[in-house]
Structure 1
Amino acid sequence: MWLGLSVFCQISFSQAKIAGKVQAPDLSPLQDANVLLLKAADSSLVKGTTTNRDGQFAFSDIGPGEYRVLFSGIGFADKYAESFTLQASDLDLGLIPMTSAATQMAGVTVSARKPLFEQKLDRMVVNVKSSITNVGATVLDVLERSPGVIVNRSAGTIAMAGRDGVLVTINGKMTYMPADALIQYLQGLNAANVEKLELIPIPPAQYDASGNAGMINIVLINNPDEGFNGNAAASMAVGPMEGTQPMASINMNFRKGPLNVYGSYSFSRLAQLQEGHILRTIEKPDGEHTVETITDRDPFQRNHDYRLGLDYAINRRTVVGFLVAGYNHKWDMEAQNYSYLKVNNKIDTTISIANQEINYWRNWMANANISHTVKDGESISFNIDYLQYKDSNPTEYQQQYTDGEGKYLFDQNMNSGKETVINIWATQLDYTRKINEKFSLQMGAKATISRFSNDVLVEKEENGQWVPDMDYTADYSLRENIAAAYVSADFTLSPKTSGKAGLRYEHTTSNLGSDQKANIVDRKYGNLFPSVFISQVVGSNNRLNISYSKRITRPTFNNLAPFLIFFDPKTFISGNPALQPAISHNFKLDLLLKKLVFSVGYSYEKATIGDFQNEFDTANNVQTIVAQNLDKSNLFQFMATLPIEVTPWWTSNINLGVYYQEVSAHLKNGQVKEDQWYYTISGAETFRLPKKFTLELSGYYQSKSLFGVAVFNGLGALNIAVQRKICKDQVSLTAGVDDLFSSGNKWVFYSEFPQEKVSSHTSIQVSYRMYKVGVSVRFGNKLLKDKRERATASEDERKRVQ
């Protein structure tokens, strides 16, 4: 198929040379500037190079056609040469003067191939489409491969730079999702819908202060081209343990005159058998008591995601916009569990548990916005959002008890259910003014109103009748209001020194109650959150960045609301209404040596929220898994991002991290202090082969580290893919293998409490190797137009649904 299509699309042409020289603002030759040769029609990348010590560059063996050239460098504004027509003869573009970044004007958005990782002043950018192993992947897969990001699918958490409490936003919009809903959403979102990920360890003041580990912003595709255009993608993956993963997506955009209409839809269905093992041991006077659970699970997840938006320019200064988006995700699992209650390694009781669980999340949101440019350098915008989440989570348990010799004792059937509804209203007003070339000011205010209800039912079958267990059955409601205001300034102190400083104030009121008890939680508190960034250019192509911010992690809605989920009759997951917010102070130093990035950081957090921590009732050998406040935690980190062009056809992107964690806590089972050194490595090796083939190896590994006061073992994955572009690069064909050694999602946790003589060990394999093929097609007009960049009022809210 590839051979036939390539013959059909093949074009022959003669060759020519394009050359020129790049000059710094002080008129000296600019070495190591990036030079990209782009097609004028669609800005796709033809070739890339860097300037030599004399500022010179050259592209050889270029065919006739319409081209343009993009010049960029650290500390300098991007510059585009005028489009030109190349004939058979060589072309000299002459002298190209660059200007400092402080005087950069708004440019044209291009679709050139970007580096996989880009370091900005306050964030690391992961360009999703620059890695072919991301074809047929989900956004959760891409996050796992990103620098410093750890996805714990078993516990439903995402950590960055060694710390939990990441704020995940979509196009800058807070998600407000519960942990299981967020993981489910990201696992169902096709990476083909995503333009880039922004990893922001210290977010500036205009963003919510939530998320002690910083912020991950997922930027969905929004095509800026004139006319009708878009792209469609489809993939299929299969693997052992009955693994299947069909995915399809389409993004479309229509832009004409003052009107822009855009939308996207994606579908996926993920299925693969899972295996798990839980072992808990308690030392008692009469010997060793253990509970061992073996689980075989057969889950699938079906996902629909959609987005439809419209922007209309009333005049050249005023734009209004509307956006509707949502998803429908259903996770369904059948499982067979066996729990063995042992004394001195001899089985006392066996419990066979057949259960079926459904976790069915639905979401929709609507946004209206208006932005107005008062004059050049001065603008104001207003957003109003409404979001609704609904979750149905019924679970059935059919339990059969036998004694140590396998003789039947009795049956016990039980149901649990949870109906969750979350309604959120958010409004935001932002004002920006450029005072002069060296100083600009931003300020704004935001109000968020959240209403959460959680109707929990636990019932047991007795004599053919279902009887509610009133110890665990109740209807909970949470009301939370957050009011915020911020001021922020960008400034240039000298041609080589610039910065950003901001101050944000947030006031929170929270009230949690139930139909049985009012004011379970009733809090009012306010906090100031400063942030500062300083950037210093060192030499011609190096930069030093220093940053600090204060952040807060509020308890998620589900963590606060009391509930109970059963693993077996001796193991539960529960909520904790006593959880308090955690406050952190974060420091970071970045050194950019040309394209290489080295970072050191330190974070101190008080009242750290540890998700999925263990509590033990030693008298009854019962384990409760619950979020808890730890006393404090310290994190020291070193990170390096090493993009290296080994040869013109081999590009290497390596990310290294070394961390030291300290955690202390007073828990129900005693005081605990833990510390741990660990390291991470991730990256991609890309090989550009003849005839438009590309081969890529990507992967990640994390050594043993801490999860609250628990320890989990190291894990990692290796992925491989090959891609060929055909039909004038409009069609991409990809084949590959994800998680080649089935090592990426085997999660092993353990915790020990010597004072109580208790230990717990959990192991679960949630996915295995997958073989995949995919196709992506770009269609429509490719005339570039400026893209409207905007965020909505609820950018920072969605993660609170966790």
Structure 2
Amino acid sequence: MKTYTLLMLMLAGPFLAKNCAAQEKLAGSRVSGAVLDAERKAVDFATIHLLRAKDSSLVKVAISAADGTFIFENNAAGNYLVAASMAGYKKGYSKPFELNAGNKIVTLEAIRLPAQSRDLKEVAIVSQKPLIERKMDRLVLNVESGSLAAGATAMEVLEKAPGVTVDKDDNIAMKGKQGVTIMLDGKPTYMSNADVANMLRNMQSSQIETIELITSPSAKYDASGTSGIINIKTKKSKSLGLNGTATAGGGYGETSKMSGGTNLNYRNRKVNLFGNVNYANNGRLNTLNLNRQVTTVDTVTTFRQLNSWDNRRFSTSYKAGADFFLNKNHTIGVLINGYANKNDEESNSNTNWVNNFNQSERINILGNNTESYDNMALNLNYKGVLSASGKEISMDVDYSNYNGNHDEIRDNSYQRINLDPRGNLLVKNYAPAEITVKSFKTDYSHPINKTSKIEAGLKASLVKTDNDLLLAKFNGTTYVADPEYTNHFVYDEDIVAGYLNFSKEFKKTGVQLGLRAEQTFSKGNSVTKNEVVKRSYPELFPSVAFSRKINKDNELGLSYSRRIDRPSYDDLNPFLNFLDEYTFQKGNPFLNPQFTNSFDLSHTFKGKFTTSLSYSHTRDAMATVTEQDNATLKTYAIQKNLDEMDVYNLTVYAPVSPARWWNVNNNFQVFRMNFKSFSNGGTLNSGQTAISYNMDQSFTLSATASADLSAQYQSPQQYGIFRAETQVVLNAGVRKSLVNNKLSLRASINDIFNSRKNRLSTTYQDMNLNFVEKGESRIARLTVSYRFGKNEVRPARKRSTGSEAELNRMKN
């Protein structure tokens, strides 16, 4: 209908220009009205014709707004009538009326459009969006245009997207790089990897309109996030009323899992109310088997460490908000969202070491840990349409408060041979944390003409984190703080940013140029150790994107951007997290941000097959490394800056249909990551070419039933100082729709052969270690989802709040 309306406007243009020139306009004149259906509900995108009453000749054409209203302004004096039409309705007319100097403002009675009934003997599909569209700075996956929409979850659709992979820990990578920013309708998710995965697994593909893969984000987006952005856009709707979805599910692998939630949306012409709440109670088992060897002069010590964790995570997330439509051009909104998560964990660790002098020690550690993470974020926003040409301004004010706590008791017992005996040791590890985020941002969009647009914006954010780590040992009567492992760390960070973006559409070519400037002030203060790290750095982040339509079957895209990844707040905190007294994880207050220059060249064929070649160079690349103290036999895992990281990537996405009932999506990647470092006490020059292949097959069993089978292969690869071994995983599922597709049942099993595990090793510097990490991955699930109310209720406005980059750096 929109295409038809635009065509009418273009065809009528010369005619209107001729008639308008022939008559003098009546300045300040205004004709307004509304279009309603038989049930007195607004009809948007109806075609409105302003006609001369004498001969019904066309004067102007307009389209009705979301609330059904329309306006004609500055018309010549004369006698008129208005006609309204819309596919599926009979045409409607207003009564004739006169415009003159004494009657400039005319408000018409609502035009009623009765429904039109027709017998459809044959339906022909004239056009359909291609599965993949190349935009200037992104690749758009039209979910409805292929088998991707056939009864899957949002997570399953995402795993099928070109160049996207998801590992066992729900870390989402794009073109081989992790740290992807996930957005929903242009808004950040504010969730951990596990929570994002849970949300996407509870969202049906039928709710998704498109998935945008933004490998080189424009200057409009925060410069943080070198791996790019994945924006999942849900379907728009057009009417008023109430609708919602209720979902419940359960699963079992080695532990039980259950989840449930509901989503509600109510809209009328003045307000839109929306909210959701989701709850999950998921168990998870993890094991880690670590082997390492430490050589000091003539002493060789061999470690064998066996660790297991039995974790149960309780998570509740919520969102509630309202949009108030002051008029058709101005909207203000309020939003509150957050989560309350809790982990209860029991651990068992057995560390055995022996040296070549027949000295040995066995340490058994029983741990009991309770963690809690709570966050509440408030947002006040405004959006205004300043002119009919599309000038827009938006503003966001955000406040967020995060509180986390880690409370652990570890009971250590020792068995020693040829060493002095040791008694049992009881250790308490207590680590409260608080993070406060305040931000403001404003964005302005100014169309120069129909094909050109300038965007500009400003943003300021203020972040304060407070972490107080206490490690205390029991001396028989009370716990006494250990000064070596106790630390109070306060971190302040202020960022001021501004950007300018220009885009231009030619006949077959699109161009987008942008520049973002960010000034960062940070101060890390280790109060206990009296160490202060201050930084102040201004940075520029340019971005360029081109798109070119060669012909109806071939499109090219080329993009470049410079990005930054700032350390997470936890990584900057010099805390110690114990595996045992010989193995630690610790933070690094001297960790620098990393900067990446990315280039991407892509080709799309027939809107389905896509090939992309990309290269990125990262300076001060942040990576996890291990450090070893040979004298004390201690090993630390810590985030450090490597000098350089280069990533080369070739991605081929090829969906094929061997039969009408059988669709196969092939996602093939060849990539190489090279790492160089000449600091950190040694020289690193590592790299390896790797292959990743994901194959997803969907089978249509009937009009209401489908099945799917997917396989994932990852060849050995090098990341920093670690080498990861081959991984192969197979998943399967079936889906059934009932009750006019309102009720959906889905059964699935992930990792059928229980083969998903991480096997890593390193021989960097004087270290010689390897480990196998296995999480609970073979899980059978059953999910039930029911949709109620009207299926076409327009959702909440799609907007991005001002604190997304900062909140994504929190732990939850």
What interval of TM-score do these two structures reach, taking the shorter chain for normalisation?
A: 0.7 to 0.9
The separation in 1 between residues aligned to 2:151 and 2:281, in whole angstroms, is 19
Pair 1:467-2:487 in alignment: no
User: Structure 2 vs 1, CA of residues 723 and 152 (structure 1 numbering), >3 Å: closer, same or farther?
Assistant: closer
2:432 to 411, 419, 423: 419
The separation in 2 between residues aligned to 1:773 and 1:237, in whole angstroms, is 6
Whether the 8 Å CA contact 2:573–2:587 is kept in 1: the answer is: yes
Pairing of 1:302-313 with structure 2 (within 5 A): 302-313=314-325
The separation in 2 between residues aligned to 1:153 and 1:500, in whole angstroms, is 37
Whether the 8 Å CA contact 1:132–1:734 is kept in 2: the answer is: no
Q: Deviations over 1:479-501 (max 9, x none)?
A: 10000000111101x31111211
The separation in 2 between residues aligned to 1:689 and 1:770, in whole angstroms, is 24
Letter of the 2:801 counterpart: T
The separation in 1 between residues aligned to 2:197 and 2:123, in whole angstroms, is 49
2:369 to 351, 357, 368: 357
User: Structure 2 vs 1, CA of residues 222 and 474 (structure 1 numbering), >3 Å: closer, same or farther?
Assistant: farther
What is the TM-score normalised by the length of structure 2?
Answer: 0.80
Instruction: Return the offset for 1:794.
Output: 1.8
* Residue number in structure 1 paired with 2:334: 322
The separation in 2 between residues aligned to 1:115 and 1:609, in whole angstroms, is 38
Pair 1:749-2:780 in alignment: no
Instruction: Return the offset for 1:796.
Output: 2.7
Instruction: Return the offset for 1:244.
Output: 1.4
Pair 1:736-2:741 in alignment: no
Pair 1:210-2:224 in alignment: yes
* Residue number in structure 2 paired with 1:695: 707
Secondary structure at the aligned position of 2:570 is classed as: helix
Q: Deviations over 1:543-585 (max 9, x none)?
A: 1000000011112211111100000110000111111111111
Secondary structure at the aligned position of 1:608 is classed as: strand
Secondary structure at the aligned position of 1:558 is classed as: helix
Pair 1:82-2:87 in alignment: yes
Please, which moves more after superposition, 271-280 or 505-514?
Answer: 271-280
Instruction: Return the offset for 1:603.
Output: 0.5
Whether the 8 Å CA contact 2:647–2:673 is kept in 1: the answer is: yes
Instruction: Return the offset for 1:390.
Output: 1.0
* Residue number in structure 2 paired with 1:4: none
* Residue number in structure 1 paired with 2:503: 490
The separation in 1 between residues aligned to 2:594 and 2:133, in whole angstroms, is 31
The separation in 1 between residues aligned to 2:530 and 2:417, in whole angstroms, is 46
Whether the 8 Å CA contact 2:337–2:378 is kept in 1: the answer is: yes
Give 1 or 2: higher strand fraction: 1
Q: Deviations over 1:594-618 (max 9, x none)?
A: 11110000001111011x3111112
User: Structure 2 vs 1, CA of residues 716 and 93 (structure 1 numbering), >3 Å: closer, same or farther?
Assistant: closer
Whether the 8 Å CA contact 2:487–2:529 is kept in 1: the answer is: no
User: Structure 2 vs 1, CA of residues 563 and 291 (structure 1 numbering), >3 Å: closer, same or farther?
Assistant: same
Letter of the 1:430 counterpart: D
* Residue number in structure 2 paired with 1:63: none
1:800 to 796, 805, 809: 809
Pair 1:538-2:550 in alignment: yes
Secondary structure at the aligned position of 2:797 is classed as: coil
User: Structure 2 vs 1, CA of residues 397 and 590 (structure 1 numbering), >3 Å: closer, same or farther?
Assistant: same
The separation in 2 between residues aligned to 1:187 and 1:717, in whole angstroms, is 18
Whether the 8 Å CA contact 1:133–1:720 is kept in 2: the answer is: no
The separation in 1 between residues aligned to 2:123 and 2:158, in whole angstroms, is 43
Pair 1:601-2:614 in alignment: yes
User: Structure 2 vs 1, CA of residues 370 and 654 (structure 1 numbering), >3 Å: closer, same or farther?
Assistant: same
The separation in 2 between residues aligned to 1:345 and 1:726, in whole angstroms, is 71
* Residue number in structure 1 paired with 2:202: 192
The separation in 1 between residues aligned to 2:770 and 2:677, in whole angstroms, is 20
2:396 to 383, 406, 422: 383
User: Structure 2 vs 1, CA of residues 539 and 157 (structure 1 numbering), >3 Å: closer, same or farther?
Assistant: closer
Instruction: Return the offset for 1:514.
Output: 3.0
Q: Deviations over 1:655-710 (max 9, x none)?
A: 11110111011354411111111111224211112252111113432222223221
Whether the 8 Å CA contact 1:340–1:347 is kept in 2: the answer is: no
Whether the 8 Å CA contact 1:146–1:682 is kept in 2: the answer is: no
User: Structure 2 vs 1, CA of residues 592 and 633 (structure 1 numbering), >3 Å: closer, same or farther?
Assistant: same
Whether the 8 Å CA contact 1:134–1:191 is kept in 2: the answer is: no
2:785 to 776, 791, 802: 776
Instruction: Return the offset for 1:349.
Output: 0.4
Whether the 8 Å CA contact 2:711–2:730 is kept in 1: the answer is: yes
What is the TM-score normalised by the length of structure 1?
Answer: 0.81
User: Structure 2 vs 1, CA of residues 288 and 119 (structure 1 numbering), >3 Å: closer, same or farther?
Assistant: farther
* Residue number in structure 1 paired with 2:800: 791
Whether the 8 Å CA contact 1:732–1:775 is kept in 2: the answer is: yes
Of all paired residues, the percent bearing the same amino acid is 28
The separation in 2 between residues aligned to 1:623 and 1:643, in whole angstroms, is 47
* Residue number in structure 2 paired with 1:659: 671
- Unmatched runs of 5 consecutive residues or more in structure 2: 1-6, 12-38, 40-84, 90-115
* Residue number in structure 2 paired with 1:452: 465
Pair 1:721-2:733 in alignment: yes
Secondary structure at the aligned position of 2:759 is classed as: strand
Instruction: Return the offset for 1:722.
Output: 1.1
User: Structure 2 vs 1, CA of residues 463 and 236 (structure 1 numbering), >3 Å: closer, same or farther?
Assistant: closer
Whether the 8 Å CA contact 1:238–1:771 is kept in 2: the answer is: yes
Pairing of 1:619-630 with structure 2 (within 5 A): 619-630=631-642
The separation in 1 between residues aligned to 2:775 and 2:236, in whole angstroms, is 33
Pair 1:122-2:137 in alignment: yes
Q: Deviations over 1:147-168 (max 9, x none)?
A: 43455666x9654322344334
User: Structure 2 vs 1, CA of residues 334 and 219 (structure 1 numbering), >3 Å: closer, same or farther?
Assistant: farther
* Residue number in structure 1 paired with 2:284: 272
User: Structure 2 vs 1, CA of residues 569 and 312 (structure 1 numbering), >3 Å: closer, same or farther?
Assistant: same
User: Structure 2 vs 1, CA of residues 227 and 716 (structure 1 numbering), >3 Å: closer, same or farther?
Assistant: farther
Secondary structure at the aligned position of 2:196 is classed as: helix
User: Structure 2 vs 1, CA of residues 92 and 564 (structure 1 numbering), >3 Å: closer, same or farther?
Assistant: closer
User: Structure 2 vs 1, CA of residues 223 and 348 (structure 1 numbering), >3 Å: closer, same or farther?
Assistant: farther
Whether the 8 Å CA contact 2:613–2:650 is kept in 1: the answer is: yes
Whether the 8 Å CA contact 2:267–2:793 is kept in 1: the answer is: no
Instruction: Return the offset for 1:128.
Output: 8.3
Please, which moves more after superposition, 774-783 or 421-430?
Answer: 774-783
Whether the 8 Å CA contact 2:180–2:230 is kept in 1: the answer is: yes
The separation in 1 between residues aligned to 2:424 and 2:627, in whole angstroms, is 28
* Residue number in structure 1 paired with 2:296: 284
Whether the 8 Å CA contact 1:265–1:304 is kept in 2: the answer is: yes
Whether the 8 Å CA contact 1:169–1:796 is kept in 2: the answer is: no
User: Structure 2 vs 1, CA of residues 602 and 783 (structure 1 numbering), >3 Å: closer, same or farther?
Assistant: closer
2:360 to 348, 355, 358: 348
Kindly report the root-mean-square deviation, in angstroms, between the aligned alpha carbons of the 2 structures. Answer: 3.1
User: Structure 2 vs 1, CA of residues 442 and 524 (structure 1 numbering), >3 Å: closer, same or farther?
Assistant: same
Pairing of 1:628-643 with structure 2 (within 5 A): 628-643=640-655
User: Structure 2 vs 1, CA of residues 723 and 170 (structure 1 numbering), >3 Å: closer, same or farther?
Assistant: closer
Secondary structure at the aligned position of 1:273 is classed as: strand
Q: Deviations over 1:218-275 (max 9, x none)?
A: 5578866520011111111112x2x211111211111111211111111111113322
1:582 to 594, 598, 618: 594
Instruction: Return the offset for 1:793.
Output: 1.3
Q: Deviations over 1:276-324 (max 9, x none)?
A: 2011112334343122110122111111111111111100110111111
Letter of the 2:575 counterpart: F
* Residue number in structure 2 paired with 1:234: 248
Letter of the 2:727 counterpart: L
Letter of the 2:483 counterpart: M
Instruction: Return the offset for 1:92.
Output: 6.8
The separation in 2 between residues aligned to 1:199 and 1:310, in whole angstroms, is 29
